[in-house]
Amino acid sequence: MSRPQLPLVMPAVPDQRWDCHSCTRCCRELVGDLRDEDRRKIDAENWADRLGVAPYVSVGRKWALNKRDDGACVFLLDDGRCRLHAELGFDAKPFACRVYPFTLTESDGKWLTAWRFDCPSIARSRGRDITVHRKMLNKFRPELPRRVSAGDETVELTRRRPTARGEIDALLDRLNTWLGDDTRSFADRMAGAASLVDTLRAANLSAVREQRFAELIDMLMTDLPAAVDEQSKAPPTSRQQAMFRQLVFAHTEHLTLGEIRSRLTRTTRRFRQLRRSRQFRRGVDRVPPLPGSDAKTTFAEVDRVLPAVDDAGEIVSIAGRFVRTRLLSRYQFGERYYGWPVLDGLGALWMSVAVLGWLARYFAAARRAECVTTPDVVHGLALVDGAIGRSASLGTTGERLRLEFLAREEGIARLLGHWRLVDPMRGTGPTQPTESST
């Protein structure tokens, strides 16, 4: 007997659009995991002989579509089309390719939907309104793996403090409202959100539950504008900066399929990683090459890059949609984010936004530009979104301790200064307040 289908929930993120524009980034940069059913379909069409190379390869205990020497999927045609799609139709493609850039996971008797910002059309909001794709996503439901989902009730708010009924909704609703208030600069909105979460993390919440927890948030929200004004505008300390640079390193340790399968031993890879990690911690001279760029750029040159002059509105829109998608789709805590408690996961999100700011400056410096532009932000966001929730190194205990350290002495708020990518003279809202540059 077939089981009843669960409803599909899409986060309500204003101004989010998407259609595939066939840029082929996903076919070149991502590793497409295969299910058993995908491999069966590929084998049935005898693709190994038709391509002349293995259509898929093992990666650890999984299988992935094979890549050519230039990094592109073996099914990618010269004209940018997928050969599986071109010859056999959309349904012949592996599930991961058909569903990208969406992700669907089960929680509390629903399919929670999110979308990935490493797709440039998502990042730049190009295409039809995102909700148009609900019909297509509904068709995937019979193919989605069902499992016993514990839901929100087992997620911790902070360590050893389970969430109580309605608490996650109460917190996310208030944060969403605050982050959507475009009468404030985006940097101030981020600083306020970080301040709220830091205050909650530092409080003893064991006896403050359900309705009282919601009332506490309301009280803190009333004071938030003043708290943002009073926040230290001091630059981060050198220790905070060193820890932050290591966080940048952790967000950019992206291995290609070639590197994963290369003959390099695990020890050699580890040695190279340690050397890069040390270079980031020291933060002097040249920045180790990052994915997508081997420019000879120094840390000092990255720090000298100025905020955007012309692209302020689009840059704020990209960052705002990214943060609200992560929040509203609940992809920032619990089983979708390394099993982390809610407040730890939100702290990690604010720091990922700070990392995005640094990376946008890096890519501007790498092309010898004075100011950040939208493509620099899109490039940085592809790395950030490809790493968070996916890279094992960002989910370690060491990473959580780093965040705890950075949350002290307003470290997160100070480091969010790296996000200040927008020229103070180019407003984004009707009453744009000051957006100072670092």
Does position 302 interact with ligand SF4 (CB under 6 A)? The reply is no
Total interface residues for ligand SF4 by CB under 6 A: 12
**Closest distance to ligand SF4 from the beta carbon of 312 (Å):** 24
Query: What is the closest distance, in whole angstroms, from the C-beta atom of residue 84 to ligand SF4 in the complex?
Result: 14
CB of 30 to ligand SF4, least distance (A): 8
Whole-number Å distance between alpha carbons of 115 and 423: 28
Amino acid of residue 152: D
**3-state DSSP call for residue 333?**
coil
- The answer for 60, left when phi > 0, alpha when psi is -120 to 50, beta otherwise, is left
Q: Which residue from 26, 315, 343, 377 is in contact with ligand SF4, where contact means CB under 6 A?
A: 26
8, 9, 17, 20: residue in contact with ligand SF4 (rule CB under 6 A): 20
Do 286 and 296 form a contact (C-beta atoms < 8 A)?
Answer: yes
411 binds ligand SF4 (CB under 6 A): no
Report whether 376 contacts 284 (CB < 8 A): no
Among 8, 24, 261, 409, binds ligand SF4 (CB under 6 A): 24
Choices 21-29, 183-191, 259-267, 411-419; region in contact with ligand SF4 by CB under 6 A: 21-29
* Candidate segments 115-123, 209-217, 266-274, 429-437, binder of ligand SF4 by CB under 6 A: 115-123
Q: Which of 107, 121, 332, 432 contacts ligand SF4 by CB under 6 A?
A: 121
The rounded distance, in Å, linking the Cα atoms of 83 and 94 is: 12
22 in contact with ligand SF4 (CB under 6 A): yes
* Distance of closest approach, residue 391 Cβ to ligand SF4, in angstroms: 19
Nearer CB in complex with ligand SF4: 17/141:
17
Q: What are the tokens at 219? A: 């009280």
Nearest distance from residue 102's CB to ligand SF4, in Å? 10
Question: What is the smallest separation between the CB atom of 97 and ligand SF4, expressed in angstroms?
Answer: 9
263: DSSP letter: S
Place of tokens 């069966």: 40
Binding mask 51-90 for ligand SF4 (x = CB under 6 A): ----------------------------------------
Among 47, 56, 63, 100, binds ligand SF4 (CB under 6 A): 100
- Contact (Cβ atoms closer than 8 angstroms) between residue 334 and residue 278: no
DSSP per-residue letters across 90-135: GGGS-HHHHHTTEEEEEETTEEEEEE-TTSHHHHTT-SEEGGGGHH
Shortest distance, position 17 Cβ to ligand SF4, whole Å: 12
Residue 325's Cβ-side half-sphere holds a number of Cα atoms within 13 Å equal to 24
What is the rounded distance in angstroms from the CA atom of residue 423 to the CA atom of residue 307? 5
Radius of gyration for the chain, computed over Cα atoms and rounded to the nearest angstrom: 22
Considering only 11, 55, 101, 347, the residue that binds ligand SF4 (CB under 6 A) is 101
Give yes or no for residue 21 binding ligand SF4 (CB under 6 A): yes
Given candidates 10, 34, 114, 119, which one binds ligand SF4 under the rule CB under 6 A?
119
Report the C-alpha gap between 353 and 333 in whole angstroms: 16
133 is a site residue for ligand SF4 (CB under 6 A): no
CB 370 within 8 A of CB 387: no
Q: Which residues of the chain form contacts with ligand SF4 (CB under 6 A)?
A: 20-26, 100-101, 119-121
